[in-house]
Chains A and B, each alone.
Chain A
Amino acid sequence: MDAQLIPASLFDCPVVESRPVGAYRLISFVAREIAALARPGQFLMVRAAGQKLDPLLPRPLGVHEIDSDLVKVLIEPVGRGTISLAGMRVGDRLSVLGPLGNGFDMTGEGPAIVVGGGIGAAPLAFVARSLSARGRDVRCLLGFRSRGQAVVAELFRNLPVEVYTEDGSMGKKGLVSAPLSEMLCALDGTDSFSNNTSSAGDFPSEASSAETISGDSASSDDENSCAADTGMFPEIFACGPDPMLAAVDRICRDCGANAQVSVAAHMACGVGACQGCVIKTVDGYRRACSEGPVFPSTDIEW
């Protein structure tokens, strides 16, 4: 989780693919060094290359996918910067600074649940694939407002994904917090994770996930823990709107599970210089760009 292991560089990158994915836009660009270095959960500061001064600053975008020399990002056009980026087409050039931030700690073992909400699902595809490649059983819970956003789940091809929409227009109706809560807190000392989830046949049995709980959680003395010391809790990797992340934190606390959450903030420099992107944590303000964007969920003051 040391952000400073990999120095970031500034690259001029040609766009080689730009296509709509529901309400979002998927942009692929050539960036060999970033493709080689970026870790799941790291982000890039991206803007249109050139002298145009409006929009002025790059925007932080999570790495959605690495494909050989290509880096893919997903853009939700909501403000002056992202609307401009969503207008980038094949042949346009991007100014890209990265890779930045700490990324997720991927060193754990055992099953993992990836929980994404809205555009926050984008970087989790990279996370889920990496977890899968490490031999960890991965299950993805993705929540969206409606079908327009939820089609992003298509980008999680070959990964076990359950889609939830608030209006029920795609997947199941409701928030991801309900199934997450069910998965975690239905567990107790005698039942394995896989036995308690309807569609997780590929999840390990209790025996094979006995080392899931890392040293960090050993300090948990939460009386509400359902199975904190049975060693079979999946680790949670989450990215999405704050209310969703807060719910993930609450559920995981109740059950004694560990969650890493990737937070979003307005950024200017992306490297830790400007102090602009701070979030409230138990240790005071911390910079999302350089001390995050991934934090243990229990570090954040929700």
Chain B
Amino acid sequence: MNNNMEPPVTASLETSLGPMALEHPIINASGTFDALVADAVLAADLFEQFPFAAYVPKTVTLQPRAGNEPHRLYETAAGLLNSIGLANKGIENFIAEDLPRLAELPVPVIASVAGENTADYGRCCEMLDSRDEVTAVELNISCPNVELDGKALGCDPVRTEKATALARAATSKYLVVKLTPNVTDIVELAKAAEAGGADCISLINTVHGMALDPWTLKPALGHTTGGLSGPAVKPIALRAVYIVSRALDLPVIGMGGVTTAQDVLEFLAAGASAVAVGTASFRDPLLATRLAGELRDLMEIRGISSIAELVGSA
């Protein structure tokens, strides 16, 4: 450190999650970046030059879902409330229509599934187990907008463990469980997922929230309440990553308000092995094309040469 002539550090961004070797630690959060839409609508080559190190498609369910009543979106201070309600084409259509095309992506695909009950998670994983296009499965047990039987399954450690165990029994693929922050003790839920056989924990899903229309003073969202994302939730997410990654031996995918390379750096330091970009892609669909390079710059400025050196260093 005293030597001004010290050669510059060359930072490597390579990292891995289980069987997935990742070129860099930045992936997308489910439902916020659509590789097929980006390929069709945007002029930039976001398919062959895919900006994320792995691709997580929007969550699918056993049956197609129309989603929630509009309005589904409402912007709040540095945040976005949504109540999409898991609108999706259903897992069969996803497998038939989307997977063949997604197989052409230059990165691994982490399919995201949700269920109305614990058994659904097993059935979804069973259907994906034979699909070579899918490297990993993320169990979305934490969507706040589909209270099918009272509350998100991911609020209950017993059902969290059971859903994970049924999924574990149905597939040998790398299994990620995505947790909700809308619980008293998120570590308890993370341990339940670990006990059920999860390989990895991702967090956080959106934070329960609500907005009123400023003129009518009625709920701004058709579903009354929704999930908050964006920079406003970053401190909540960072804390969740920090405490869960310290309490468990499993790798963690951190997300929640990630908007800059500095945010990525902080989530890695807090304990995430990979970091997902969500709402920020709505703000700038090309953001991800710059983040990895900016992360490398930040690491080199700080003399950090590898992701492993950074993870959990906070």
Contacts and interface: CB of A to CB of B under 8 A. Distances in A.
A262 interface: no
Interface in A170-201: none
A285 B87 contact: yes
A53 B37 CA distance: 25
B77 interface: yes
A274 B71 contact: no
B72 A275 contact: yes
B279 to A, nearest CB: 7
Contact of B279 (A56, A100, A265): A56
B67 A269 contact: no
Contacts of A284: 66
A274 B43 contact: no
A275 B84 contact: yes
Interface in B69-96: 70-75, 77-80, 82, 84, 87
Interface stretch (B14-22, B26-34, B192-200): B26-34
A275 B66 CA distance: 10
A272 interface: yes
Contacts of B40: 4
A56 B79 contact: yes
B87 to A, nearest CB: 4
B37 A276 contact: no
B5 interface: no
Given A273-B33, A279-B70, A54 B41 contact: no
A267 interface: yes
B210 interface: no
Interface in B23-76: 31-34, 37-38, 40-44, 58, 66-67, 70-75
Contacts of B38: 271, 273
Interface in B176-224: 214
Given A57-B282, A274-B32, A277-B73, A9 B44 contact: yes
Interface in A265-294: 265-269, 271-280, 284-285, 290
B281 interface: yes
A302 B41 CA distance: 29
A276 B283 contact: no
Contact of B285 (A54, A56, A269, A276): A269
Contacts of B87: 275, 278, 285
The interface residues of chain B, by DSSP majority, are classed as loop
A3 B41 CA distance: 8
B298 to A, nearest CB: 15
Contacts of A276: 72-73, 82, 84
B122 interface: no
Contact of B41 (A47, A268, A272): A272
B144 interface: no
A100 B43 CA distance: 12
B101 to A, nearest CB: 15
Contacts of B77: 54, 80
B43 A7 contact: yes
Given A10-B285, A273-B33, A285-B67, A55 B259 contact: no
Contact of A285 (B33, B66, B82): B66
Given A53-B231, A80-B75, A267-B73, A274 B67 contact: no
Given A47-B283, A265-B71, A278-B87, A272 B43 contact: no
Nearest to B281: A269
A14 interface: no
B205 to A, nearest CB: 15
A231 interface: no
Nearest to A81: B75
25 contacts: A3-B41, A4-B40, A9-B43, A53-B230, A56-B78, A56-B79, A56-B230, A56-B283, A57-B282, A80-B75, A80-B77, A97-B285, A268-B82, A269-B32, A271-B42, A274-B73, A274-B282, A275-B67, A276-B82, A276-B84, A277-B73, A280-B70, A285-B67, A285-B70, A285-B87
Interface of A: 3-4, 7-10, 47, 51, 53-58, 79-81, 95, 97, 100, 265-269, 271-280, 284-285, 290
Interface of B: 31-34, 37-38, 40-44, 58, 66-67, 70-75, 77-80, 82, 84, 87, 214, 230-231, 259-260, 279, 281-286
> Lowest 6 CB-CB distances: which A-B pairs, in order?
A7-B43, A273-B34, A276-B73, A268-B282, A266-B73, A9-B43
